[in-house]
Chains A and B, each alone.
Chain A
Amino acid sequence: MAAHGGSATALTLGPPEAAEQLRNALAMGAESAILLETDGRDWDSQATAAAIVEATRGGGYDLLLFGNESADSGGYQVGIRVAHALGLPCVTGIKSIAVENGVATVRREAGGGWEIFEVALPAVLTVKEGINLPRYLSLPGRLRAKKTEIRRDVPTPVPGGLTKLRLVVPEDEGSRVEFLGEGPTAAPRVVEVLRELGIG
């Protein structure tokens, strides 16, 4: 980003505590931050996307970056819904990006190889872990983050079509492990098992 003379805004939707993540983003170099504050209840993908569209529309952003999927809910769709509502092109699951002359060349893994897309900015991209390694938080960065004011909006969720009823812990299947031995002396037994499985 610095290479292109741009600036970045970090945005998240969540309870007041989510401001902590925004402070981290500010400490890493984002210039500004927006918290779409909720009362802690789950928002489904449709409501989340609508609130992000509302907060970013007209913001003049060249690039909207999302995670490909959230670690918790795993809906795989918020970035796509935002792109659709804003009429922007969208590539998901990317692992590298290069911007030149207003065109982003992005790559994503597919079947052991790579699919390469070229999209004109403004665009929405959703990234997978491994695209880069976040830098460490520096002390000056932390101090700057503390002083930066976070913009807080309190959106109203639009009604969506997926409603959580409850969470359930899947039944533990119980251990079925067979110990084949200890140390290198177990090797013959390991190979026996491999051959029983038709391997090796």
Chain B
Amino acid sequence: MILCLVEPGELSLEALTFARRLGTVRAFSIEACEEYAPGAWAAAIVQLIERHSPEAVVAAGSDRGQEAMAHAAARLDLALAANCISAELDDPMTVVRQRWGGSLLEEAELSGRVKLLTVAPHAIAAEPDVAEIEVEPFVPTLSEADLAVRVARREEPQTGAISLTDARVVVGGGRGVGSAEGFALLEELAALLGGAVGGSRVVTNLGWRDHSDQVGQTGARIAPDLYIACGISGAIQHIVGCKGAKRILAINKDRDAPIVARADYAVVGDLHEIVPAVIAELRR
């Protein structure tokens, strides 16, 4: 039996799809405590393993999935294969996992009495019918120690702001935007399309945008319906962050820029002329 942890969101559907390819799935959601505590989730995973003796535990490669599985692995002194894209249920298990954010793949052997895996985000397509798999709520028995580290308080996102990871459309800017002020144009386009604005590592390092707006291996991994990359050359670290997009439109002076080769659509030219023309056309 394969045990799959489910939390709200698309990534858990990918994890369920992955888990079902390995065998019979039982899906659980963790109902631990009011405020998130990594130790409580780890305790829940350990108790689920004791109770159900699964061959493997699969979780989404979300922040919580990675964190809780690593805590559980540490408690059980078991290996954890993070960011897997496929696996064969042998002993040892053979897994294929992403390295360098997916620009390289590693084939590895995973051993241990229970195999712990997380699934690389946006690397496999969720099969729609996995949403019908019954998800059983699990309430773990917790000690004080499990709750020692927990969220003390939250700052909610600004109301009305669309987050990069949830946006249907993301307008991204790179060095070609030229300045912090240059992003006003991209903001305007994003607002017209109901989208969010992101940036490459160059623009966050230059201070043109906040680091939280960075799309890439060390920033946000986005998966919008459309990513409009303006003045972004498309270094591999950036591609890692935006390859989850269903479609990419590149606006770039250089028709040989790497982003153009990865795009579905491209317009060659100066974004400072093209973006205003697109905005005007949208407003007609």
User: Chain A residues in contact with chain B, CB under 8 A?
Assistant: 44-46, 49, 69, 71-77, 80-81, 83-85, 89-93, 95, 107-119, 128-130, 133, 160-170, 175-188, 190-191, 193-194, 197-200
Which chain A residue lies CB-closest to B162?
Answer: A112
- The stretch among B19-27, B131-139, B210-218 that forms the contact with chain A is B210-218
**Known contacts A112-B166, A162-B110, A186-B269; is-contact A200 B154 (Cβ 8 Å):** no
Q: How far is the CA of A112 from the CA of B210 in the complex (A)?
A: 13
B149 contacts A90, CB within 8 Å?
yes
Residues on B with beta carbons closer than 8 Å to the beta carbon of A175: 260-262
| B73 engages A116 (CB within 8 Å) | no
B10 CB contacts on chain A under 8 angstroms = none
In the assembled complex, the Cα of A192 lies from the Cα of B205 at a distance in Å of 35
List 9 A-B residue pairs with CB atoms under 8 Å apart, sorted by A's residue number: A71-B218, A72-B100, A74-B99, A81-B74, A112-B158, A113-B154, A166-B106, A183-B269, A184-B273
Cα–Cα, bound, A85→B101 (Å): 28
**Given A77-B82, A187-B278; A199-B266 close (CB under 8 Å):** no
- On chain B, which size bracket covers the interface? 35 or more
Kindly state the separation between the CA atoms of A169 and B92 in the bound complex, as whole angstroms.
23
Q: Measured between alpha carbons, how far is A183 from B277 in the docked complex, in Å?
A: 9
| Cβ–Cβ contact A184 & B149, under 8 A | no
Within the complex, the shortest CB–CB distance from B255 to chain A, in Å, comes to 8
Give the chain A neighbours of B225 by CB distance below 8 A.
197-199
Q: What are the interface flags for B27-42 relative to A under an 8 Å C-beta threshold, 1 for contact and 0 otherwise?
A: 0000000001010000
Q: How far is the CB of A190 from chain B (nearest CB, A)?
A: 5
Cβ-defined contact, A81 with B218, below 8 A: no
Pick the 9 closest A-B CB pairs, nearest first. A161-B79, A130-B211, A112-B163, A112-B157, A184-B277, A187-B277, A77-B70, A84-B74, A129-B218
Binding site for A on B (CB under 8 A): 36, 38, 63, 66-67, 70-71, 73-75, 77-83, 92, 94, 96, 98-112, 118, 148-158, 161, 163-166, 168-169, 192-193, 204-205, 211-212, 214, 217-219, 225-226, 247, 249-250, 255, 260-270, 273-274, 276-278, 280-282
Chain A neighbourhood of B82, CB < 8 A:
69, 74-77
Closest to B195 in A: A199
- The answer on a CB contact under 8 Å between A199 and B157 is no
B212 CB → nearest A CB, Å: 6
Q: Which residue of chain B lies nearest to A168 when distances are taken between CB atoms in the complex?
A: B105
Chain A residue with Cβ nearest B155: A114
A84 touches B75 (CB 8 A): yes
The interface centre, meaning the residue of B219, B261, B267 with most chain A CB atoms within 10 A of its CB, is: B267
Known: A112-B166, A177-B263, A178-B264. A197 touches B153 (CB 8 A): no
Asked if A109 and B212 sit within 8 Å, CB to CB, the answer is yes
Partner of A76, one of B66, B94, B155: B66
- Provide the residues of chain B in CB contact with A114, threshold 8 Å: 154-155
- The answer on a CB contact under 8 Å between A190 and B74 is no
Task: State whether A119 touches B266 (Cβ < 8 A).
Answer: no
CB-based contact A80/B67 at 8 Å: yes
Q: How far apart sit A178 and B247, CA to CA, in the bound complex (Å)? A: 11
Known: A84-B75, A112-B164, A130-B204. 15 other contacts (CB 8 A): A44-B79, A77-B74, A77-B80, A81-B70, A81-B74, A92-B67, A93-B67, A112-B165, A114-B154, A170-B105, A178-B264, A183-B269, A186-B267, A199-B169, A200-B282
Q: Contact at A183–B273, with CB atoms within 8 Å?
A: yes
Bound: A186/B280 CA distance, A: 12
CB-contact partner of B267 in A81, A166, A182, under 8 A = A182
**Complex: A165 Cα to B108 Cα, angstroms:** 5
